[in-house]
Structure 1
Amino acid sequence: SEHFNEIKDEAVRLLKNIDTMELGDLVEAVKRISAYKIEITDYLDILMIWYRDVLIYKATMNIDRLIFGEEIDSIRERAKKSSYEGIETILEALEKAKARLRANVNFDLVMELLLLTIKEN
């Protein structure tokens, strides 16, 4: 649907730019993400799929199995920057964020922690 594509585009834009974002930019990103609070699971799933692609590319250098194949330049760049451990840390942080949101932990806090973890890895 068009709404899902909007969520996907926002998620991809965040992932492409997170390395250059300052803390204020991250807080601003959380505000934008909160517009999708209802669909936050979809948003987090998109981030997980992106990092799955990064992991597959890093391990195989093969683009045939990527879901975000059209974003190969950004995926290649991320695969170079992140270690396997870093990608694993990010995937675990995404799972933790989902669990915390299900447990009604403060949305902004959960998302800020997640984005900081992604930025650091």
Structure 2
Amino acid sequence: MGRFLSSDLLHFNASDLGYGIKRRLTMDYDGNLRVYSLSDSTGLWDITWQALAQPCNVKGACGRNAICVYAPEPMCTCPPGFEANNQSNWNAGCKATFNQTLKFPTSEIPGDPSC
């Protein structure tokens, strides 16, 4: 029918609520939970519900050190000083283009027995 109720009391309705429609619930590659309904007219699976309507709200959608922006469609970008780990897969995150090694002189902390 398109009404879903889980054991932890999460409930939602597919946008095409009704009987006789074939549906599937899928955790997609981007980490978003979606309901797909099979269209009788096209034979294609259409998204009729998704947990997060804004793709940039999916945690880690762009990978480590990357930023998800709408331009106007969602896309991943790297902040200044970073570049894409994989130009053909922007979900793989960004890596620093600078030396990340920090060198500080050894300091003693008063009262620390390990010093």
Task: Tell me which interval the TM-score lies in, with the shorter structure as reference length.
Answer: under 0.3
Answer with 1 or 2: which has the greater Rg.
Answer: 2
TM superposition score normalised by structure 2: 0.22
TM superposition score normalised by structure 1: 0.22
Q: Give the strand-richer structure, 1 or 2.
A: 2
Q: Give the helix-richer structure, 1 or 2.
A: 1
**Which structure has the higher relative contact order (CA within 8 Å, separation 6+)?**
1
